[in-house]
A and B are shown apart, each in its own frame.
Chain A
Amino acid sequence: MTAPDLIAAIVIPSAHLGHWLWIFYVIPLLIVIAGILRSTHREKKREREERE
């Protein structure tokens, strides 16, 4: 394998990486929603236990 071929082989194909940047902006929202679901579930469980 020649040097140019070697360089071409290790070029990271990130030309379209920009199209996936939105994922980084969705992650905080997903974390918050997961936290809300967990908290809501725990509070409902606690209320249920208190009633019983």
Chain B
Amino acid sequence: MIVHLPEAHALVAKQDLPIPAWLFAWAASIVLVVSFFALSAAWRKPQFEEERWRPSVAWLTAVLRSWPLQVLCGGLGVFLLGVGIYSGIHGTEAPDRNFAITFFFVTAWIGFPFASALFGNVFPIFNPWRAIARVAGGAYGLLARRPLRHLAYPERLGRWPAAVGLLGFVWLEVVYGSSGGVAVGLEPHAAGVAACVYTVYTLTMMALFGAELWCSRGEIFSVYFGMFSQLAPFGVKDGRIGRRRPLAAATHWATSVPGSTAVVIASISSTSFDGAEDGAFKGGLTHVGGWIEGLGVGPLATIRITDSIFMAATVLAIAGVYLLGVKGMRSVPGAPAFRTLTRGFAHSLIPIALAYLVAHYFSLFVYQEQAQFTYLLSDPLGTSTTDLFGTAEYGIDFNALTPNVIWYVQVAALLVGHVLGLTLAHDRALVYWRDYRRASRSQYWMLAVMVAFTCFGLYLLSINAS
């Protein structure tokens, strides 16, 4: 007798996995629980509070921080920003054929976090706005014969401008641009105009508060990429490049500057929303969208309003889960103030933010970079009239990664990210609770947070793959 299973909604994932996708979430949860007990038993003194800084040889610092290299890299950054803006405004409106979209939203937006987590804070030397501000500041100093005076930055704002800007950037990409497209839905013209507007805004802020200060507080990309660089084993201290214990720099990133927790939560929630938009949230978006459209709102406005509501809900949900974890810690005797805990454990979310980024965009990055360095480089405007490097006819090899390889990389990234997050949280708990038993007890709720984020991340990925 044949029993038919009418799987109308494609329950079978595209991958050819030996076990169901949800079992990976169970296995990941077991690994996290085992890691938690291993940390509780064997990790009784903080290890990451000291960076164990080892400066590199002097000539390496001299070369990497030399002014010719700074001029070259800064100039390259300004040139590529210019190419992006020009091709966005004057090139084809097909997002997958225009240099601007892949360059802004894949090469830079995804590439710099990966590079920063591996090699340290590499963005400042390429930052086009910093380069322009430094040249303009130098020129002003020569002409006026005095350095440009800046306003005092309101320190209580901290990194909040960057957190809000980060959400704004992602909103532009996935909500405003959700009218249709290939890799990224935003129209190239809109991306070009947005880059112009952001350039004017950033240069104004740099003129008001100083380039370096604005880069450390409000410049979205410097703060965002800089956050991931805290995980790297390389850094700069007192003007000298050197090595440090991986992850250790992150321990002090969020404690002293307000808004840092918001930056890392904005990072996780924006990636989550981007991943859930076409998968887990699809039914809800359609339902709410139908209701809004019933009120007489136009189709495009309906999509944008609905997406905005869901994006805001995602941010609140991620923040809520984290704050619940902090609230749980607060219940353990000897706990510091709620605000201290909120800031004190925010750095433990940075590996998770990176894990989400790898899990959601790793395959997009591999595919789109083939386009970036072949046909988009040869024909940046996408008009099929230029072939600068003879690669305009190249295509993307979608067989470069199999669905199973993508899935295993995603699972591994999420698992490693959350175990590292758990480790950083445990390490910080040992600073706040000198008694390791209480420190371990305080981490019960962070374990729940990590399991929640892992299962949520794997659920989003499994839905997108089905």
Contacts and interface: CB of A to CB of B under 8 A. Distances in A.
A14 B30 CA distance: 29
Contact of B459 (A16, A25, A43): A25
B9 A36 contact: no
A36 B455 contact: no
A14 B29 contact: no
B444 A40 contact: yes
Given A25-B459, A27-B26, A29-B448, A18 B10 contact: yes
Contact of B455 (A17, A18, A29): A29
Contacts of B20: 24
B42 interface: no
A7 interface: yes
A24 B22 contact: yes
A25 B9 contact: no
Contacts of A28: 25-26, 29-30, 451, 455
A31 to B, nearest CB: 8
Contacts of A31: 29
A36 B9 CA distance: 36
Given A28-B25, A32-B29, A32-B448, A14 B7 contact: yes
A40 B448 CA distance: 13
B18 interface: no
A29 B29 contact: yes
B367 to A, nearest CB: 26
A36 B445 contact: yes
B452 A29 contact: yes
B3 A25 contact: no
Interface string B64-102: 000000000000000000000000000000000000000
Contacts of B466: 18
Interface in A1-35: 7, 10-19, 21-22, 24-29, 31-33, 35
9 contacts: A10-B1, A11-B6, A21-B462, A21-B463, A27-B26, A28-B26, A28-B29, A36-B448, A39-B441
